[in-house]
């Protein structure tokens, strides 16, 4: 896994994904296909949670300005929508 090249994950996005795709047990009425689909969805969210955790544990090791660039791109996006 190449963490150095992985984009910074914004906390609001991760919070929203965790809310939309929560950890949960399979329901008895779900088909096998539904179980596999939901399992795959949640696997991606678990991966993003882990990457976010690693990014924030290693915040002091981040390249100079990396957080500024991520913040700037978020600000630029919000400015463009006006």
Residue 34 to residue 81: CA distance in whole angstroms: 36
> Is the confidence at residue 79, as pLDDT, over 50?
no
**pLDDT, greater one: 71 or 45:** 45
- The count of domains in the chain is 1
Residue 50 maps to a domain: yes
Residue 15 maps to a domain: yes
Residue 10 maps to a domain: yes
**pLDDT, greater one: 71 or 20:** 20
pLDDT for 6-33, tens place per residue? 899 999 999 999 999 999 999 999 999 9
Q: CA of 54: how far to CAs of 34, 45, 71, in Å?
A: 30, 14, 18
Residue 38 to residue 23: CA distance in whole angstroms: 9
Residue 11 maps to a domain: yes
> Is 0.85 surpassed by the pTM of this model?
no
């Amino acid at each position: 896994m190449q963490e150095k090249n992985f984009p910074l994950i914004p906390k609001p996005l991760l919070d929203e994904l965790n809310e939309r795709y929560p950890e949960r047990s399979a329901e008895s009425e779900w088909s096998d296909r539904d179980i596999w689909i939901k399992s795959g969805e949640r696997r991606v969210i678990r991966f993003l949670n882990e990457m976010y955790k690693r990014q924030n544990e290693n915040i002091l090791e981040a390249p100079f300005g990396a957080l500024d660039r991520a913040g700037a791109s978020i600000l630029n996006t919000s400015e463009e929508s006006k």
